[in-house]
Amino acid sequence: MKRIRQFLYCVTLSMIFHHSVSAQQLATPFTATSPSYFSATATSSKIISFNSIINRKKVLLSWTVGENQETDRFEVERSTDGKKFVFAAMVFGTDKAGIDYYQFYEKMKKAKTYYRVKTVAKDGTVSYSYTIMAGSM
């Protein structure tokens, strides 16, 4: 529960600082009431952590990035089998120096969905996060 509270705190701060949250998202906030929570440390030298929370058939992906100023964009990819990934969304980097926090939100399309984040640096270098599973096992 402590990790969940810490994560929700980071997500809240991210929502406040990035102003990228829609009115609909604010109207249906994520709570700590029986969420599905998965976490992995990423292989990318830039992505520090990558997490998911599920509540009311909605998934919130959140990741922490080091060396943020070198990142051009993130491409969220989803898969139903953990092998074939398709593009889900693009999140642009903020150019803020050092560590920064990002998120992606969508309705769950399947009971079990895999996600990964593709990091594209300003120099064109590409790296991937670990794959995480959101949904029932």
Q: For residue range 74-125, what is the model confidence (pLDDT) as tens digits?
A: 999 999 999 999 999 999 999 888 899 999 999 987 878 999 999 999 999 9
Q: Are 108 and 134 in contact (CB under 8 A)?
A: yes
Confidence of residue 53 (pLDDT cuts 50, 70, 90): very high
The CATH number given to whatever domain includes residue 42 is 2.60.40.10
The domain containing residue 23 runs over which residues?
2-135
Report the Cα–Cα distance between both ends of the chain, in Å, rounded: 20
Give φ, ψ of 2 to 5 degrees: -60, -40
Q: What is the pTM of this model?
A: 0.67
Total structural domains in the chain?
Answer: 1
DSSP conformation letters of the chain: -HHHHHHHHHHHHHHHHH----HHHHHS---SSS-EEEEE--SSSSEEEEEEEEETTEEEEEEEESSGGGEEEEEEEEESSSSS-EEEEEEE----SS-EEEEEEEE-SSSEEEEEEEEEETTS-EEEPPPEEEE--
Q: What is the pLDDT of residue 3?
A: 54
